[in-house]
């Protein structure tokens, strides 16, 4: 019972890295001796100390004989930083409780094994599902090589996303757009299409001043980090004049054809083969995984939305529903041609339903 209280605290600490740790996981650590928390910490950024190191530094000598609660198996490898299991052993920690094993093949059980070999009492699995939720992106990439993909959609009650004229700003409320800023901020990358860039000329950045007050409080402005912007542009239609290439951070173009134009700093190209005349989305996702992208947040039109669903690369739908009717001439949520039988209709499960201002936000996952 007490163990759960400390692990819940470690999970809460880990959350504080949710905007900044990628490509690393979010990890929290709490060190307890004789019922007192003597050290705690979380991982903030790749290249900087891991959660355990921060907690051990705070605990100092009090770590001797203490229990360490960690949301992920302590690492056993020399990466950008030395192994945390060695640091825990050296500090004399006598028990380690991990919420889950680290699927990173460089670790994968070796951290816990090394601790056990050194005489530390070890257990894992406490609050594992909460720990899984915390790192959906990192865990999916480590297990499959693919990033976690969230498809964001915004629509009226009758599924309309734009009037026949193309007018679409704004269907959802300012509160929903603020919520989108928060979810963008937690993503490693934002994916869109050239069609969206040509139609709306979006910046696709996180604007700190547009985040809600709670998010701002846990994400100091000096830590602000822009998700990588990825634009699928098979026909090289986006130009160096578009706003997206003039924002802070990186923009990656996924192309099927050569492009020799001059681009501002921060712009690079991924060459992706075509499949039936279209850029191969599965190969794009594999390429993003190889480049250590943990999670992808998609903001695009109905064509890319439909193509991603058909390619089977969508892990989660985030749908904002505005209490309006756009009528039967409106444009729809996603282009999914050729569906004839109900049995072939893609199905989802509701995982979360939130009211956001006047709108609803629905979180769904594909039904198996």
Residue 155 near residue 320 (C-beta atoms within 8 A)? yes
Question: Is 73 or 233 the residue whose CB approaches Zn ion more closely?
Answer: 73
Mark 24-53 with x for binding to Zn ion (rule: CB under 5 A) and - for no binding: --------------------------x---
Residues 6+ apart with CB under 8 A from 83: 74, 75, 76, 77, 111, 114
Nearest to 84 by CA among 131, 126, 93: 93
Count of chain residues binding ligand AOF (CB under 6 A): 18
Question: Is 25 or 227 the residue whose CB approaches ligand AOF more closely?
Answer: 25
Count of chain residues binding Zn ion (CB under 5 A): 3
Tell me which DSSP letter residue 92 carries: T
For 39, 59, 68, 110, 122, the CA distances from 33, given in Å and listed in that order, are 9, 9, 9, 25, 16
Per rule CB under 6 A, is residue 290 in the interface with ligand AOF?
no
Q: Is 168 assigned to a binding site?
A: yes
Instruction: Give the nearest distance from C-beta 266 to ligand AOF in angstroms.
Output: 23
In the set 31, 51, 139, 176, which binds ligand AOF (CB under 6 A)? 51
The rounded distance, in Å, linking the Cα atoms of 86 and 68 is: 13
- Share in percent of the chain as helix, strand, coil (round to 5): 30, 25, 45
Task: Evaluate the omega torsion of the peptide bond into residue 23 and state whether it is cis, within 30 degrees of 0.
Answer: yes
Site for ligand AOF in 168-207 (CB under 6 A): none
Mark 49-88 with x for binding to Zn ion (rule: CB under 5 A) and - for no binding: -x------------------------x--------x----
In the set 27, 100, 319, 364, which binds ligand AOF (CB under 6 A)? 27
Q: Is 50 assigned to a binding site?
A: yes
The rounded distance, in Å, linking the Cα atoms of 273 and 256 is: 6
Instruction: Give the nearest distance from C-beta 107 to ligand AOF in angstroms.
Output: 5
Instruction: Give the nearest distance from C-beta 76 to ligand AOF in angstroms.
Output: 9
The rounded distance, in Å, linking the Cα atoms of 226 and 205 is: 6
From 68-76, 117-125, 150-158, 262-270, span contacting ligand AOF (CB under 6 A): 68-76
CB atoms < 10 A from the CB of 304, how many? 22
Task: Evaluate the omega torsion of the peptide bond into residue 170 and state whether it is cis, within 30 degrees of 0.
Answer: yes
Nearest to 109 by CA among 76, 70, 68, 143: 76
In the set 37, 55, 75, 120, which binds ligand AOF (CB under 6 A)? 75
Structure-token pair, residue 276 = 């039936």
Active site annotation includes 167: no
First to last CA, the chain: 34
Task: Annotate 43-61 with b (16+ C-beta within 10 A) or e (fewer).
Answer: bbeeeebbbbbbbbebbee
Q: Which does 80 bind (CB under 5 to 8 A by kind): Zn ion, ligand AOF, none?
A: ligand AOF
Per rule CB under 6 A, is residue 137 in the interface with ligand AOF?
no
Bridge partners of 274? 279
What is the rounded (10 degree) CA torsion for 157, 162, 168, 174?
A: 20
Q: Which does 102 bind (CB under 5 to 8 A by kind): ligand AOF, Zn ion, none?
A: ligand AOF
Instruction: Give the nearest distance from C-beta 79 to ligand AOF in angstroms.
Output: 3
In the set 32, 63, 107, 309, which binds ligand AOF (CB under 6 A)? 107
Q: Active-site residue among 4, 40, 48, 52?
A: 52
From 67-75, 148-156, 191-199, 257-265, span contacting ligand AOF (CB under 6 A): 67-75
Per rule CB under 6 A, is residue 87 in the interface with ligand AOF?
no
Residues that bind Zn ion (CB under 5 A): 50, 75, 84
Active-site positions? Answer: 52
Binding residue numbers: 50, 75, 84, 154, 168, 170, 184, 196, 200, 204, 207, 234, 299, 301-307
Instruction: Give the binding site for ligand AOF (CB under 6 A).
Output: 24-25, 27, 43, 46, 50-52, 72, 74-75, 79-81, 84, 102, 104, 107
Binding-site sequence positions for NADP(+): 154, 170, 196, 200, 234, 301-307
């Amino acid at each position: 019972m007490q163990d759960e209280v400390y692990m819940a605290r470690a999970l809460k600490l880990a959350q504080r890295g949710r905007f900044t740790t990628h490509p690393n996981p979010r990890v929290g650590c709490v060190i307890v001796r004789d019922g007192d928390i003597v050290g705690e910490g979380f991982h903030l950024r790749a290249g900087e100390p891991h959660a355990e190191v921060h907690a051990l530094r705070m605990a100092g000598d009090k770590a001797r004989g203490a229990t360490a609660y960690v949301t992920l198996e302590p690492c056993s490898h020399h990466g950008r930083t030395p192994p945390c299991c060695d640091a825990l052993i050296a500090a004399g920690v006598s028990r380690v409780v991990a919420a889950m094993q680290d699927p990173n093949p460089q670790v994968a059980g070796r951290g816990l094994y090394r601790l056990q070999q050194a005489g530390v009492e070890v257990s894992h699995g406490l609050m594992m599902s909460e720990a899984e939720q915390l790192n959906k992106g990192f865990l999916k990439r480590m297990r499959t090589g693919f990033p976690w993909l969230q498809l964001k959609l915004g629509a009226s009650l009758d599924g309309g996303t734009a009037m026949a004229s193309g007018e679409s700003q704004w269907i959802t409320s300012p509160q929903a757009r603020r919520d989108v800023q928060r979810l963008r901020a937690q993503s490693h990358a934002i994916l869109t299409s050239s069609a969206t860039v040509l139609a709306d000329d979006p910046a696709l950045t996180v604007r700190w001043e547009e985040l809600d007050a709670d998010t701002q409080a846990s994400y100091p402005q000096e830590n602000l980090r822009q998700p990588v912007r990825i634009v699928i542009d098979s026909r090289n239609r986006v130009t160096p004049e578009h706003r997206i290439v003039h924002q802070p951070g990186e923009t990656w173009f996924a192309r099927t054809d050569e492009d020799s134009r001059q681009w501002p700093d921060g712009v690079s190209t991924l060459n992706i083969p075509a499949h039936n005349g279209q850029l191969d989305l599965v190969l794009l996702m594999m390429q993003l995984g190889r480049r250590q992208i943990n999670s992808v947040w998609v903001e695009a039109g109905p064509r890319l939305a439909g193509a991603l669903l058909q390619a089977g690369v969508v892990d989660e739908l985030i749908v904002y529903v505005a209490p309006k009717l756009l009528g039967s001439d409106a444009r729809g949520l996603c282009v999914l041609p050729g569906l004839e039988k109900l049995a072939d209709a893609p199905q989802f499960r509701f995982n979360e339903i939130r009211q956001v201002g006047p709108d609803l936000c629905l979180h769904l996952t594909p039904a198996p």
